[in-house]
Amino acid sequence: MRKLSLEKANKLTYDLMIQGLKNGTYKKIVVLTGAGISVSAGIPDFRSPGSGIYANLQKYNLKRPEDLFTISYFLEKPEVFYEFAKEFDLDSFDATPTTHFFIRLLQDKGLLSMNITQNIDNLEAKASIQDDFLCQAHGSLRNAFCAKCKKEMDFLTFKEHVKAGAIYRCNAAGCGGPVKPEIVFFGESLPKSFFKSMKTVEECDLMLVMGTALAVSPFNQLPFFTSQGVHQVLINRENTNATSVHDFEKGNYRLFVPGNCDDTIRKIVSDCGWEEEFEKVLPEKHRGKAQGKVAGAGAAKKD
């Protein structure tokens, strides 16, 4: 590859990004991720026509699909979410052997400042991404709280109630509110960790955006918090200009790399010469298997 200058370049290109990764120009990388990176694990995204979660909720007779994850609706009819949760067991899914472990590779190489994710599937933990490098902006399925008084409740008991099809109620005196997992519903505030992560965003020298259409606020405001001139790269099947104010095909410091996340990440690993290191971070069952392309993986529609 012809030697290029990141400092003198008029426009960020794929080759320049690869050079920056290889030679250590990028030392404080922030990775923003959405539902598209988990598609190849078997978890559907939210808004893809036909296959997305929102396209398959007819039996719940919701006025709008988002009601399933709206706090006011949950307080009124928690049984709907409980029925959905019973059928949609995230514990059965595993981290993808490409994109999730690429983030792990960045962590192990000392290049990752933070993975800020919209996902609640906890696949980052299954890829051994440490809590110090992870911000779950929309919460996670690790804890449970009363939706009414916010008292912390036992998560295992919550899961047992979901499996039994029974509503887990708060045991605080005079409350009795329905218990929900620690995921952020519409109408709730994001966790404090999200707002603290903005400091890390301000200090990053590369932002990778993967598997998200940046359609949900305030998560989609994060690219605005990088310092002037910091490179921002979108890895996604589609540009986000139709779903957000961000157009990664415009501006000298932005780059849109079209394609499925897993396929694109495998190419980046290869072009950086990191194959051997990458294989070492993979679990034994995935070694030598991540090279094949995964059809349909890594796409995101309006998440």
Annotated catalytic residue, options 138, 161, 231, 246 = 138
- Give the tokens for residue 146: 């009363």
246 is catalytic: no
Residue 65 has pLDDT above 50, yes or no: yes
Task: Give the CA radius of gyration of the chain.
Answer: 20
Which of 169, 126, 170, 120 is closest to 142 using CA atoms?
120
Check residues 10 and 77 and name the one with the higher pLDDT: 77
Question: In this predicted model, what pLDDT tens digit does every residue of 121-176 receive, in sequence order?
Answer: 999 999 999 999 999 999 988 899 999 999 999 999 999 999 999 999 999 999 99
Contact 220, 244 (CB under 8 A): yes
Handedness of CA 118, 96, 161, 170 (dihedral sign): negative
Which segments are annotated as binding site? 146, 149, 170, 175
Omega of the bond prior to 218 within 30 degrees of 0, cis? yes
Residue type, 230: V
User: What is residue 157's predicted lDDT score, i.e. its pLDDT?
Assistant: 97
pLDDT bucket at 296, cuts 50 / 70 / 90? very low
Residue 297 has pLDDT above 50, yes or no: no
How many CA atoms within 13 Å lie on the side-chain side of 16? 19
Residue 292 has pLDDT above 50, yes or no: no
Q: How far apart are CA 124 and CA 127, in angstroms?
A: 5
User: What is residue 7's predicted lDDT score, i.e. its pLDDT?
Assistant: 57
Across the range 93-116, mean pLDDT stands at: 95
pLDDT bucket at 6, cuts 50 / 70 / 90? low
Which of 40, 12, 25 is closest to 233 using CA atoms?
12
Q: How far apart are CA 196 and CA 283, in angstroms?
A: 32
Which segments are annotated as binding site for Zn(2+)? 146, 149, 170, 175
Residue type, 280: K
> In the chain, helix, strand, coil percent, each to 5?
40, 15, 45
Q: How far apart are CA 140 and CA 129, in angstroms?
A: 14
Residue 48 has pLDDT above 80, yes or no: no
228: number of Cβ within 10 Å: 5
Using DSSP's 3-state secondary structure scheme, residue 31 falls into strand
Across the range 208-221, mean pLDDT stands at: 94
16-20, 56-60, 183-187, 239-243: lowest mean pLDDT where? 56-60
Whole-prediction pTM: 0.87
Using DSSP's 3-state secondary structure scheme, residue 206 falls into strand
- Give the tokens for residue 44: 């559907």
Contact 78, 178 (CB under 8 A): yes
Average pLDDT in the chain: 89
DSSP 8-state secondary structure symbol assigned to residue 22 = H
Omega of the bond prior to 258 within 30 degrees of 0, cis? no
Q: What percent of the chain has pLDDT over 70?
A: 89
